[in-house]
Chains A and B, each alone.
Chain A
Amino acid sequence: MEYQVIWFFLWGLLWAVYFMTDGFDLGVGILLPVLGGDEGERRVMLRTVGPVWDGNEVWLVTAGGATFAAFPGVYALLFSALYTPLLLVLFALIVRGVGFEFREKGTSESWKRRWDTAISISSTLIAFLFGVTFGNLFIGLPIDANGYTGGIAGLLNLYGLLTGFLFLLLFAVHGSLWVAWKTEGGLAVRAAEFAGKAWAALAVFLFLFLLYTASSTGLDRNFVSFPLLLGFPLAALAALAGIRFFLGRSRPLAAFLASCTAVLFTISTGIASIYPNLVPSRLDPAYSATLFNASSSLYTLKIMTIVALVFVPMVVAYQIWVYRVFRHKVNSSEGAEGEEGY
């Protein structure tokens, strides 16, 4: 197989893994005011993601870095075209990260409240804007010979907004299942209830998204060439059903794993729809950035492949180890005396 094709696959996988991992801690942020009844519960919610959110976010940095190194043409086109939304994402990422750390550094109730609000708004913004961005990527950007022509308004089309809300719902459900699994008592019960209610809305949005994607992106064309791709949307739908099934049996961990799968395959469906483009032009395919015209040299791709083969398994191994160290349920009695943390 050609290196460009391998890197298209890895590129898509990196983004999907980013949304699968950071997705649930974004969800926890989004739901902070919804599920966290009092200060103690909000603290517990934040503590469930405390040890892992930073490591999750590095998948974003890696996905960005891999785009830069493997497909510099895409990096240049996409980041300059989406200047303003990405700036907002960036500010939101900064606020959120600072919020996680600074929240516990104040003692007053109002200090904590303010940071909770900041974490919640920024998490919502990140989820929504990434949804809009990826939606537009899937359906194609208005790109002509001079590059991107759409402005900010060019992103706010029906499909882009649909994807934005889909991401928001997807991560909210993902995050609530995480909370349902990682906590006990009233909070866990409410989180599971929320997931159950939001599930119906998610099902509607996911269904609409898959339908819209199949009809308005390159997905139908790619289905014909690679029928195996049908497995992606089907897996997403099966995982969606799995969430409902395991919720009904009060098995939050299994439901959470199902939502991991749902996120993974929803993103994969979108990314499979654009192949062999990375940034399709919806004006004229001649201006699309493809895996051939936007990629790095073969030599660079080879170096990157070796690095990825050696180091990514190590990363996955120690991240899994840290998840195992923190596999216990988080409760409010923890972290009182002699412990750092959020």
Chain B
Amino acid sequence: MDVLALSRLQFAATAGFHFLFVPLTLGLSILVAFMESRWVATGNPMYLRMTRFWGKLFLINFILGVVTGLTMEFQFGMNWAEYSRFVGDVFGVPLAIEATVAFFLESTFIGLWIFGWNRVSKRVHAFAMWMVAFATNLSALWILLANGWMQHPVGYVIRNGRAEMVDFWALVTNSYAWWKFFHTVLSGYVVAAFFVLGISAWHLLRKNERPLFTASFRMAAVFGLASSILIIAAGDFAAKDVAKVQPTKLAAMESVWETRSAAPFYVLLIPDTKNERNAVEAIPIPGIVSFLSFGDFKAEVKGLKEFPKENRPPVMEVFASFRTMVALGGLFVLLSGLALFLVWKDKLDGYPWFLKILFYAIPLPYIAAQLGWTVAEVGRQPWLVYGVYRTAEGVSRNVATEQVILSLAGFTLFYGFLGLLDVYLLAKFARKGPEPAPAEAIGPEGA
């Protein structure tokens, strides 16, 4: 493999690993902040123990999200120097703003939250976690405004051999980026909801701390159901933008080869990239792909054959990832809906098998989130900036193959080790359950 292939592999691997931690951070910060607010509002110590239990799991995950994020920033310059040179004028700006407006906020207030239990009032302490939650989501917004620009470049001209920004407002209001932002943060909420549901279910099966875990379960079920319904809506809007501005990605997502109006949805479909057709197309539902893409059952959907081969993304990967993600999305509505119904009717005890399913479902939203990124990023290929700049052009020219081999090997070993350590610690503290009620007088005013 050459520097290009190795750098792509390294970026995919490190971004994928980073995005194992980000989604949980996005959602769990909100849940923990909500739990702590319940404590402030009610004074019920159960909510304090709840906050501290989930907060500990949050922190283990949080730190890995932070440190693996550094890798992403470094890599643009290290492996993608030509890209950095070409787009820095536009793409660098949202990254710099992310650090200034969001990352500082997040990192400063998490320090206050971890160490401030006896230093600030209850209210200020809860506020700190809300700031962390707000900043984490704001961080995602700026990162996705940057990524959204790679997907749908706006507000720039090519001048002096590079992309130069001419309209910052266009970059900030890029509808493609905003829908992707909503879709992405909601995926984080689903991840967090199922994380809390699954671990609560595990404890409920063992009859540990029933009031605490029933309350956690209830919160997560509401959060999960709302998020998994909203994520479908956001996904639909996002897909309509894809249809508008990234026709090759849309065609790959649905494996459409021939341009046609009133494109049907095939329940069973297997792409055959080599022969530029689908090996299997069965059970058509007329007009659905046209409708989902353009809001019109008769609309024309461009087929992949419309585009030169060298401009098409890998079809199988994009198609399979998209289908699986959508199927999982449906499953999340079902599971969280059922979870909410059962906890609402106070019938959780009667369905131990369902609680077991929820425990084993913890990885599923993670998988869906990874698949979502695969659709977005593999579907963008062969472009680094869609329609403007090819991936092959962006790679560093003065980096030796051995350097990238060595760094890739380093990342694989190192990240593998960190991943194991993380799972070990999460499992350890999740199993241990909440600490016994702390002594009264938390907070300088004595609670």
Contacts and interface: CB of A to CB of B under 8 A. Distances in A.
A335 to B, nearest CB: 8
A5 B414 CA distance: 41
Nearest to A57: B107
B133 to A, nearest CB: 16
Contact of B63 (A64, A72, A100): A100
Given A80-B78, A300-B165, A315 B100 contact: yes
B436 to A, nearest CB: 10
A260 B154 CA distance: 43
Given A58-B104, A76-B81, A340-B52, A52 B438 contact: no
A69 interface: yes
B77 A68 contact: yes
B98 interface: yes
B89 A300 contact: yes
Contacts of A291: none
Contact of A65 (B73, B78, B114): B73
A73 B105 CA distance: 29
Interface in A68-98: 68-73, 75-81, 83-84, 86-87, 90-91, 93-94, 97-98
Q: Name the residue among A54, A100, A312, A318 with the largest chain B CB count within 10 angstroms.
A: A54
B398 A72 contact: no
B66 interface: yes
B19 to A, nearest CB: 16
Contacts of A83: 78, 396, 399, 403, 407
B166 interface: yes
Interface in B83-120: 84-85, 87-93, 95-101, 103-105, 107-112, 114-120
B115 A61 contact: no
A307 interface: yes
B119 A326 contact: yes
Contacts of A312: 100
Contact of B67 (A97, A299, A325): A97
Given A90-B70, A101-B63, A299 B100 contact: no
A62 interface: yes
B116 A98 contact: no
Interface string B36-71: 000000000000000010011001101110111011
Ordered nearest first, which 7 A-B pairs have the shortest CB separation? Answer: A72-B88, A79-B77, A69-B92, A338-B438, A65-B96, A68-B92, A80-B81
A325 B81 contact: no
Interface residues of B, number: 76
A94 B71 contact: yes
B421 interface: yes
A124 interface: no
B116 A325 contact: yes
A105 B108 contact: no
Given A69-B88, A76-B77, A325-B112, A62 B96 contact: yes
A75 B97 CA distance: 16
B418 interface: yes
B410 interface: yes
A318 B164 contact: no
Contacts of A97: 63, 66-67
Interface of B: 52, 55-56, 59-60, 62-64, 66-68, 70-71, 73-74, 76-79, 81-82, 84-85, 87-93, 95-101, 103-105, 107-112, 114-120, 159, 162, 164-166, 168, 396-399, 403, 406-407, 410, 414, 418, 421, 425, 428-429, 438-439, 442
B410 to A, nearest CB: 7
Interface residues of A, number: 65
Nearest to B403: A83
Contacts of B103: 58, 61-62
Given A51-B116, A72-B89, A94-B68, A65 B60 contact: no
Interface string A11-28: 000000000000000000
Given A73-B85, A76-B82, A87-B78, A299 B164 contact: yes
A341 interface: yes
Contact of B70 (A70, A94, A304): A94
Contact of A98 (B64, B74, B407, B442): B64
Nearest to A106: B425
Given A58-B107, A62-B100, A339-B115, 15 more contacts: A54-B108, A58-B104, A61-B103, A70-B96, A72-B84, A75-B81, A79-B76, A83-B407, A86-B77, A97-B66, A296-B165, A304-B96, A307-B97, A311-B100, A315-B105
A319 interface: yes
Nearest to A303: B168
A55 interface: yes
30 contacts: A55-B111, A64-B73, A68-B73, A68-B92, A68-B95, A72-B89, A75-B81, A75-B85, A76-B81, A79-B77, A79-B84, A80-B78, A90-B70, A90-B74, A94-B418, A98-B64, A105-B429, A147-B398, A296-B164, A296-B165, A297-B159, A297-B164, A297-B165, A300-B165, A307-B101, A315-B104, A315-B105, A319-B108, A326-B116, A340-B52
A156 interface: no
A110 interface: no
A322 B108 contact: yes
A101 B426 CA distance: 13
A33 interface: no
A108 interface: no
Contact of A300 (B120, B164, B414): B164
B421 A93 contact: no
Contacts of B116: 51, 325-326
Given A50-B114, A322-B111, A311 B101 contact: yes
Contacts of A84: 403, 406-407
Contacts of B62: 101
A51 B117 contact: no
Given A79-B78, A83-B399, A337 B89 contact: no
Contacts of A66: 96
Contacts of A319: 104, 108
Interface in A125-147: 146-147
A20 B88 CA distance: 27
A102 interface: yes
Given A101-B60, A319-B108, A338-B442, A326 B115 contact: yes
A45 to B, nearest CB: 14
A308 interface: yes
B376 to A, nearest CB: 22
Contacts of A300: 89-90, 92-93, 164-165
Contacts of A77: 81
Contacts of B70: 61, 90, 93-94
A50 B398 contact: no
Given A51-B115, A76-B88, A94-B71, A87 B407 contact: yes
Contacts of B78: 79-80, 83, 86-87
A91 B410 contact: yes
Contacts of A81: 398
